[in-house]
Amino acid sequence: MLPTLLKRTMAAEVKRVPIPPRGVDYRGKVVLAPMVRSGELPSRLLALQYGADLVWGPETIDRAMIGTTRRFNQESKTIEWCRLSSQGQKQPRADAEESVIYRMLPEKETNKLVFQIGTSDPERAVQAARLVAADVAGIDVNAGCPKPFSTSGGMGAALLRTPDKLCAILEALVQNITPEFHIGISVKIRILETAAETEALVRRLCGTGITGLTVHCRTTPMRPRERAIRGQLRMIAEICHEYGVACLMNGDVESKDQGRKLAEEFGADGVMIATAAEKNPSCFRSEADGGMLHWRDVVEQYLKTCMGVDNRFGNTKYLLAQMVPGKEKVHQAVNQGRSYTDMCRDLGLDHLVQQAKEADAKRGLDRPREKASKKGKANASALAAGGQMGQAREKSQHRKTLSERTVNAQPPAEPEPASVAV
């Protein structure tokens, strides 16, 4: 039997913007939100395995993608978009390290992955989107990130204050990317201070030709610790339906079943899960499938997935620290671990130790480390943010929850660049 949400959105009387041949319809979907680090490849694969219908990659800045080279990694079977790290210089040095800005696993993510772009310029947006559009199921514009690294460049939530620019970006993508690559364009926003302001904005956005709109039910100044505000949600959903645009809701959704109930209550077509997914991606399992799994089961699967796709250890370590509850004794050991082998031993996963040793040898984690200079640390997230990030910010962000940040500041435990950058 189809869930009530899906049955309602399949009703014949519902107006719909035509979905392009390679695009996806967001109606009836429960999806992984675009979060820094939670949008890395292993996290997306785990979300899909546990029941997510679609996954958003982390916001990636247009300037970071422009100039990348697409390649297929035969060993990991991933598609990677790479570039040489300039480390703040105008041109990369001859001996510059290569940074992988974005990657995907086509075997699992084809027709499931939505690329979210950070942009403030229609021409750059099209140029960057064209590099990935043939491989993804949709392009989503971030118009909700409240952090200075995004808003100072006129991106993210700053676009909510410049609706002419935001509409121009969406129209450029609809007019150039959709006809060429046959995928839909969507946008993710936050609510404005008043319902009238939000209504006016949503009407303009829906008139650009987008196929989907996600509303994060918080205003720009609000932070994740503040409860989501859903008072405007029904109005937003009704406007979207008037234009035939799918409406997804985001904010304080804890599980697939809860998300479906909220969507039905407020008239939304689908839901995004963010913070709950970074803590335990099995939140995408419905109660009918057994519900959420114990964190130990999830952590084991996560480690196997990370080693299977050659995930950067710094990212793996950070996500493990989110997944292992702070009250557990092993949490401190996870924070102090310096290799995959350390993690498997500390977590009692002896059957994975040999695989971990091989992964460590491949990445050089089994060798003594030399202290790298600050200038020499390649940081793919700095590339994706369009500039260098201070060490003080990196240190402070390491203590914040994932969903509170919009910059992928990797811990300096490993010198290689991040596999997916924001």
pLDDT digits (tens, 9 = 90+) for 263-295: 999 999 999 999 999 999 999 999 999 999 999
Determine the average pLDDT of the residues in 114-143. Answer: 98
Determine the average pLDDT of the residues in 59-64. Answer: 95
Q: Are strands 270-273 and 30-32 parallel, antiparallel or unpaired?
A: parallel
pLDDT digits (tens, 9 = 90+) for 131-150: 999 999 999 999 998 988 78
Beta strand ranges found along 112-201 (DSSP E):
113-118, 138-143, 184-190
d(CA 6, CA 372): 53
d(CA 169, CA 155): 11
Determine the average pLDDT of the residues in 106-114. Answer: 98
390 pLDDT more than 50:
no
373 pLDDT more than 50:
no
Half-sphere exposure of 328 (CA within 13 A, CB side): 16
Beta strand ranges found along 181-252 (DSSP E):
184-190, 212-216, 246-250
Which amino acid type is present at position 207?
A: G
Q: What pLDDT score was predicted for residue 149? A: 79
44 pLDDT more than 80:
yes
Determine the average pLDDT of the residues in 396-418. Answer: 37
When mean pLDDT is compared over 116-130, 221-235, 381-395, 400-414, the highest value belongs to 116-130
Q: Which residues contact 176 (CB under 8 A, 6 or more apart)?
A: 126, 130
Terminal-to-terminal C-alpha distance of the chain: 39
For residue 224, name the pLDDT band (cuts at 50, 70, 90).
confident
Angle at 260 between CA 214 and CA 222, to 5 degrees: 45
Determine the average pLDDT of the residues in 395-416. Answer: 37
- Please confirm, yes or no, whether 145 is among the known catalytic residues: yes
119 pLDDT more than 60:
yes
pLDDT higher for 374 or 80? 80
Exposed (0-12), middle (13-18) or buried (19+): which is 415, by Cβ within 10 Å?
middle
pLDDT higher for 338 or 1? 338
Exposed (0-12), middle (13-18) or buried (19+): which is 380, by Cβ within 10 Å?
buried
Half-sphere exposure of 204 (CA within 13 A, CB side): 18
Q: How many CB atoms lie within 10 A of CB 353?
A: 14
pLDDT digits (tens, 9 = 90+) for 67-102: 999 999 999 999 999 998 766 566 666 556 789 999
pTM score: 0.85
Q: State the catalytic residue, choosing from 82, 145, 206, 344.
A: 145
404 pLDDT more than 70:
no
Q: What pLDDT score was predicted for residue 75? A: 93
Exposed (0-12), middle (13-18) or buried (19+): which is 318, by Cβ within 10 Å?
buried
pLDDT digits (tens, 9 = 90+) for 301-315: 999 999 999 999 999
d(CA 106, CA 70): 13
Q: What pLDDT score was predicted for residue 414? A: 40
Determine the average pLDDT of the residues in 241-262. Answer: 97
Q: What pLDDT score was predicted for residue 411? A: 36
